Amino acid sequence: METKKEEASGTETKREEFRVSGEGILAKVKELIKEGNVRRIIIINEKGETLIEIPLTVAVVGTALAPVLAAVGALAALIANCTIIVERK
């Protein structure tokens, strides 16, 4: 897994990129959600196409995430490698 960090100048939003294999996608997304300072998670395939974009807010908790995690799990079964872009506060 590769990690790349960027910080936009003049803003408080940081972007990180993680390259993961299909079986690691769900675990990485769950880990990021537990961290709590994530604003948005974007999963991109090898061609650079956005597959799913998950906006996270303080109000999104528990069972509201279950359908999102199910979608990420199904997505993981279909792709070999991807990039996860994380926007943080």
The values of phi and psi at residue 80, to 5°, are -90, -50
What does the DSSP assignment read for 11-36?
Answer: SS-EEEEEEEEGGGHHHHHHHHHHHS
Are 43 and 30 contacting, i.e. CB atoms less than 8 angstroms apart?
Answer: no
Instruction: For residue range 18-77, list pLDDT tens digits in order.
Output: 999 888 999 998 898 888 788 899 999 999 999 999 888 755 556 677 788 888 888 888
